[in-house]
Homo-oligomer: A and B are copies of this chain.
Amino acid sequence: MKDKIRKYFDRLVILPDEEWREMEQCFELIEFKKGDILLDANTHCNFIGFVNNGIIRFYEIKKGNEKVTAFWFPNEFLSNYRSFLSGEKSNHYIEALSDGGYWKLKKENLFKLYDDFPVIDRLGRKMAEQLYLMITKRVDNLLRETPEERYHNLIDKNSRLLQEVPQYMIASYLGVSAETLSRIKKRIHTK
């Protein structure tokens, strides 16, 4: 069951069996239903997780409407990593868009693992580095491409999103209004 987590980690460091056994015990499967709030706004995020199954979104409410920052699918890292690191409260909600489950690792346990096992500390470095790379790519995407280019990128890389997530959430994720996304689609299909 937890094999996929280990696979994720194995791409980052060589994690010996002993360390993995220690680590493995700290993961707890949390099951959720569509619509469940996995992390409330105004809360400190004290865990990281890995999606086992289901779709999850990460969003905030700004001036009355929702701004979607991320979607998460199986085998992806799940957290408000910013709140996790800084200790500040999250502005964002984490919400299940379908039934599913995720593997939860609490901050206190991870920090204990960091202290006890240098290789896990290194794993933490690698994770932070990966997340840094991911966010820089996202920034590039948002700042240097037009909404239409962003839409093309999205359907190339993640067609599942389009099938399983309401379009207005995708619009928000792309940084445009629902109406604009609708017009973008029209523009593309009449070409």
**A contact set with B: CB distance below 8 Å:** 62, 67, 81-82, 85-86, 114, 118, 121-122, 124-125, 128-129, 131-133, 135-136, 138-139, 142-144, 175
Contact = CB atoms under 8 A, between A and B. Distances in A.
B128 A82 contact: no
A155 to B, nearest CB: 22
Nearest to A137: B82
A185 B121 CA distance: 47
- Kindly report how many copies of this chain are found in the complex they form together: 2
B62 A144 contact: yes
Contacts of A175: 143
A144 B59 CA distance: 13
A139 B135 CA distance: 9
Contacts of A118: 118, 121
A116 to B, nearest CB: 11
Given A135-B139, A144-B62, A121 B129 contact: no
Contacts of A139: 135, 138-139, 142
A86 B130 CA distance: 9
Contact of A135 (B86, B125, B136): B136
Nearest to A175: B143
Contacts of A132: 81-82, 85, 128, 131-132, 135
A125 B118 CA distance: 11
Contact of A82 (B121, B125, B136, B142): B136
A75 to B, nearest CB: 21
18 contacts: A62-B144, A82-B133, A82-B136, A85-B133, A114-B125, A121-B122, A121-B125, A125-B125, A125-B128, A132-B132, A132-B135, A135-B135, A135-B136, A135-B139, A138-B139, A139-B139, A142-B143, A143-B175
